[in-house]
Amino acid sequence: MVKRLIEPVVLFGGSFDPVHRGHLEAAREAAEQLSTRDIRLIPCHIPPHKDALKTKPSERVAMLELALADYPGFSIDRWELEQSKPSYTVDTLRRYREEIGAERGLVFLMGWDSLQTLPSWYDWQALAALTHFAVWRRPGYSALPKDVEHWLQGRRCSAEQLAAKPCGGVALLQTTPCDVSATQLRALSATGVSSPLLPEAVEQYIRQHKLYQNC
């Protein structure tokens, strides 16, 4: 067993438009497997890979704040929202490295779909020198592109093994699958149908603020 003296810093980036149980439960299970209570959710400002977001940054943050009431140890990092340029993960990770130093473990969480698109991320080859990755499967997503398979060689390890180094590993986690996306939940909200996969307080906020009416 690899002993870690200080918990890793665990980051989870996304558009969270809106945040839902798929995000939250996967991150909660990941936190358990990584033996940390410090999970920082990083809502992105202008996602480089997506169409324009449907809500304002302040609304996404408000929904995250409501949702996180049920998730002790989770916090929101607003740094990307404060930037005027696109949210490149590599910039966020460099900022964290400056803050926590070279030795502390840093783990970036992501679902399988994000792993599949990793080569399209800005300066993606620089990422593993800054952080570990912990990845979970997402229903409906299967094969990885060849360049990602190649990149994974020599990096794959267990969640526990990530503790041996500050960065460079990729752990494939077993989490409970939750077949939902923010896209589906926006469409449901537009028709006024509620979903147990949206935290109740988030659903109320969406109704009160009439969000996603044209989705």
Give the pairing of strands 39-43 and 9-14: parallel
The minimum distance between CB 42 and ligand ATP, in angstroms, equals 10
The minimum distance between CB 181 and ligand ATP, in angstroms, equals 3
Identity of the residue, 113 or 123, whose beta carbon is nearer to ligand ATP in the bound complex: 113
Q: Hey, what long-range contacts does 202-211 have (CB within 8 A, 24 or more apart)?
A: 202/18, 202/19, 202/20, 202/63, 202/66, 202/67, 205/59, 205/62, 205/63, 205/66, 206/18, 206/63, 209/59, 211/18, 211/54, 211/55, 211/59
The minimum distance between CB 192 and ligand ATP, in angstroms, equals 19
| Cα(205)–Cα(132) distance, integer angstroms | 34
Q: Reduce the secondary structure of 179-206 to three states and give it as a string.
A: CCCHHHHHHHHHCCCCCCCCCHHHHHHH
The minimum distance between CB 30 and ligand ATP, in angstroms, equals 10
57-68 and 200-208 helices, crossing angle to 10°: 150
One-letter amino acid at 137 equals: R
Identity of the residue, 26 or 157, whose beta carbon is nearer to ligand ATP in the bound complex: 26
| Interface residue list for ligand ATP (CB under 6 A) | 14-17, 22-23, 26, 110-111, 113-114, 138, 178, 180-183
Identity of the residue, 61 or 182, whose beta carbon is nearer to ligand ATP in the bound complex: 182
Identity of the residue, 4 or 121, whose beta carbon is nearer to ligand ATP in the bound complex: 121
Identity of the residue, 96 or 133, whose beta carbon is nearer to ligand ATP in the bound complex: 133
**Nearest residue to 42 via CA among 88, 72, 90, 79:** 79
The minimum distance between CB 207 and ligand ATP, in angstroms, equals 19
Identity of the residue, 149 or 179, whose beta carbon is nearer to ligand ATP in the bound complex: 179
**Nearest residue to 10 via CA among 111, 132, 125:** 132
The minimum distance between CB 54 and ligand ATP, in angstroms, equals 8
Query: Number of C-alpha atoms within 13 angstroms, CB side, residue 191?
Result: 8
